[in-house]
């Protein structure tokens, strides 16, 4: 059975691991989890490299709206996390980074905004699902939150245009594995982006 202490430990470990391996830098990422009716999210200005259990703000649901009940101030991108929790009851952890290949991929034009990453390996579909593109809005802006709200649904992951990925999971480790797989799939897609389609082998669709 998960405890608040274990959830915190998993979140801190995930943050440190992502930073140490260059999946984010500075104070550009945020991480959260839901436990016992509350959302715990990394505070504004925090860095994944030095994140501790004291670096989490606590948020309660007040009629469907978030209310901060801690002294720590949450990340300005709390609404992205909150909308995922509100929309998908299976989501209990959210990670948002500016990982290198995901950001590169978010700067390209994509024909199908509901499925923007080619399925070159089976693991993206198995672990993450389809990746949806969210239109550009300045980080922390109402425009970004509005556009994310228009795209958010059940399952899958999201790539904020010219910004980075947002991934939800059943728990913290599930969200961590998903954002890892997403970044690796983006890396593969980036290196194959200029290859002629006839030379590429895609995973066959089932059915």
Tokens of 13: 């470990």
Tokens of 73: 């101030």
Contact (CB, 8 A) for 118 and 169: no
Point out the catalytic residue in the list 120, 123, 136, 184: 123
CA–CA distance, 182 with 24 (Å, rounded to integer): 14
Contact (CB, 8 A) for 68 and 74: yes
Contact (CB, 8 A) for 124 and 115: no
CA–CA distance, 150 with 93 (Å, rounded to integer): 20
CA–CA distance, 179 with 200 (Å, rounded to integer): 24
Tokens of 44: 């504004």
Could you tell me what percentage of the chain is helix, strand and coil, using 3-state DSSP and rounding each to the nearest 5? 35, 20, 45
CA–CA distance, 83 with 70 (Å, rounded to integer): 20
Point out the catalytic residue in the list 7, 40, 77, 180: 77
Q: Indicate if 123 belongs to the active site.
A: yes
**Residue partners of 104: CB distance under 8 A and separation at least 6:** 186, 190
What residues act catalytically? 77, 123
């Amino acid at each position: 059975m998960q405890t608040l202490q274990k959830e915190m430990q998993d979140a801190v470990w995930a943050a440190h691991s992502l930073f140490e391996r260059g999946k984010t830098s500075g104070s550009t990422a945020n991480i959260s989890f839901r436990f016992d009716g509350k959302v715990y999210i990394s505070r504004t200005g925090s860095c994944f490299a030095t994140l501790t259990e004291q670096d989490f703000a606590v948020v309660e649901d007040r009629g469907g709206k978030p209310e901060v009940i801690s002294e720590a101030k949450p990340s300005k991108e709390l609404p992205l996390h909150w909308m995922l929790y509100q929309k998908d009851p299976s989501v209990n952890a959210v990670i948002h980074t500016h990982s290198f290949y995901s950001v590169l991929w978010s700067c390209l034009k994509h024909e199908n905004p509901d499925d923007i990453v080619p399925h070159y390996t089976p693991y993206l579909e198995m672990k993450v699902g389809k990746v949806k593109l969210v239109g550009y809005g300045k980080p922390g802006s109402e425009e970004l939150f509005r556009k994310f709200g228009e795209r958010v649904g059940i399952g899958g992951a999201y790539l904020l245009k010219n910004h980075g990925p947002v991934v939800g999971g059943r728990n913290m480790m599930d969200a961590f594995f998903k954002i890892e797989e997403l970044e690796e799939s983006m890396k593969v897609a980036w290196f194959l982006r200029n290859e002629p389609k006839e030379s590429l082998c895609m995973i066959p669709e089932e059915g």
